Amino acid sequence: QAAAIPADGAWDATLSLLREGYHFIPNRCRRLESEIFRTRLTLTEVICMRGPRAAELFYGNAALTRQGSMPQTVLRLLQDKGSVQQQDGDAHRHRKGLFVAILMAPGEVERLTGIFRSEWRAQLRHWQERDQIVLIDEVNRILTRAVCQWAGIPIGDSDERTTELAGMVEYAGHFRPGTVAALWRRRRIERRIRHMVEDVRSGHLSIDPDSPLHRVATFPDLDGQRLKAEVAAVEILNMLRPVVAIGRFIVFAALRLHQKPHWAETFRDGGDDRLEGFAEEVRRSSPFFPFVGARVKQDIEWQGHVLAKGQWLLLDLYGTTHDSQLFSRPQEFDPERQISWRDQGFDFIPQGAGAVATTHRCPGEMITVELLKESIRLICREMCSRVPPQDLSVKMNRVPALPESGFIMAEVKARS
């Protein structure tokens, strides 16, 4: 006898999702006193779930696929067709090996962090000549320049590249004015990178064979053939776009340092051993990826429930990292929690769960944490500034979220 899954009773809950944003799944879990419920979104039946068991299902059960689990615009702006995230089984593991080899090699992460530091220092010189800066715009530019240089991508117009890469994340959450333009810009950069892949292969573009662009361009897929040039371009964008997205976490880190100045003081004079805990708590507490989707490929029984072939599922990442059963006083910012991506567990899951090499867990967590640590060092040790009155509120129905002002810093000076 299969256990019934509670239903939220809405004929269609899409408008509630838009209204409630990150709180949509947690609100219903609380009301229905259940970690799992059914509802309808965009007129489609969906089962929403949260918690470590649900995370184990999403990151470990071969009966699930990411194909058909996201609206087309989200898919196109983020992972796109043919990408690693859309692969299953052996094909996925093989392709994932490329990402892990590039993104989780300590030497590569250090090289990227070093370029990021130099770019930050170069921009700091310009900031001193201005009355104020908006941090999100500045870090988007720094990260775009750093990641292109790291990857071996000739950057061309760096403002254009910044708008293209930052826009993919900015406009992925809702379909709104700007989404169509973001999609168009995505096509444009995809084309540019496809040409670069072709030029690397033909020898017209000679770059370091160890650079990520070269490695992706020449990577043999499971069938022994090189990736189609379009797919290679998609995978290169799968390294560029999310590095720029780290700018959002950097802004949340700056906000926390502003709200908790004793931490800024700690890091000004040292505190290196506590930096990682701070960065990890920024990842846990900041609203970024609300949930991930999946589809059931064949009927399965799970926790006494039958999940039928074709069923659409959502796993609540934000709700899981804010669940008081897993994290005490989850709304409090507490860098002393012992949480780390290194555990590869199922409760601290801002960027997915489980073992990175074999599941869809994000391969960019090491990079995310290292760039966050570096930006905290730079903010606390290399510059001083004033935070003028501004709207620092974070709207929880804006996905992905950000402090409204983008975090304005005035009278920026290099610390001597």
Residues engaged in binding ligand HEM (CB under 6 A) = 66, 84-85, 96, 99, 103, 238-239, 242-243, 245-246, 249, 288-289, 292, 317, 350-352, 360, 362-364, 367-368
Nearer to ligand HEM, 362 or 387 (CB): 362
Contact 216, 208 (CB under 8 A): no
> What are the angstrom distances between the C-alpha of 85 and each of 101, 162, 172, 281?
16, 24, 16, 26
292: which 2 tokens?
């991930």
Nearer to ligand HEM, 10 or 100 (CB): 100
Least distance to ligand HEM, CB of residue 81, Å: 13
Query: How many other C-beta atoms are found inside a 10 Å radius of the C-beta of residue 395?
Result: 14
The torsion defined by the Cα of 220, 66, 186 and 182, in degrees rounded to 10, comes to -170
Nearer to ligand HEM, 155 or 384 (CB): 155
> What are the angstrom distances between the C-alpha of 141 and each of 84, 159, 169, 188, 248?
26, 7, 14, 18, 12
Least distance to ligand HEM, CB of residue 92, Å: 6
E strand map for 284-407: 291-296, 300-302, 305-307, 312-316, 383-386
Least distance to ligand HEM, CB of residue 72, Å: 16
Nearer to ligand HEM, 29 or 362 (CB): 362
Least distance to ligand HEM, CB of residue 128, Å: 28
Nearest residue to 264 via CA among 250, 281, 278: 278
Nearer to ligand HEM, 36 or 216 (CB): 216
Contact partners, residue 173, CB within 8 Å, separation at least 6: 74, 398, 399, 400
Element (H, E) at 409: strand 408-414
Nearer to ligand HEM, 146 or 367 (CB): 367
Helix (H, G, I), strand (E, B) or coil at 392: coil
Burial 361-390 (b: 16+ CB within 10 A, else e): bbbbbbbbbbbbbbbbbbbbeebbbebeeb
Query: How many other C-beta atoms are found inside a 10 Å radius of the C-beta of residue 202?
Result: 8
Least distance to ligand HEM, CB of residue 388, Å: 27
Q: φ and ψ at 44, to 5 degrees?
A: -120, 135
Contact 264, 386 (CB under 8 A): no
Least distance to ligand HEM, CB of residue 231, Å: 13
Least distance to ligand HEM, CB of residue 39, Å: 20
E strand map for 64-181: 64-65, 132-134
Least distance to ligand HEM, CB of residue 350, Å: 6
4: which 2 tokens?
């019934």
Nearer to ligand HEM, 335 or 354 (CB): 354
Contact partners, residue 56, CB within 8 Å, separation at least 6: 346, 353, 354
Nearer to ligand HEM, 335 or 350 (CB): 350
Least distance to ligand HEM, CB of residue 360, Å: 4
Nearer to ligand HEM, 335 or 364 (CB): 364
Nearer to ligand HEM, 96 or 337 (CB): 96
Least distance to ligand HEM, CB of residue 97, Å: 10
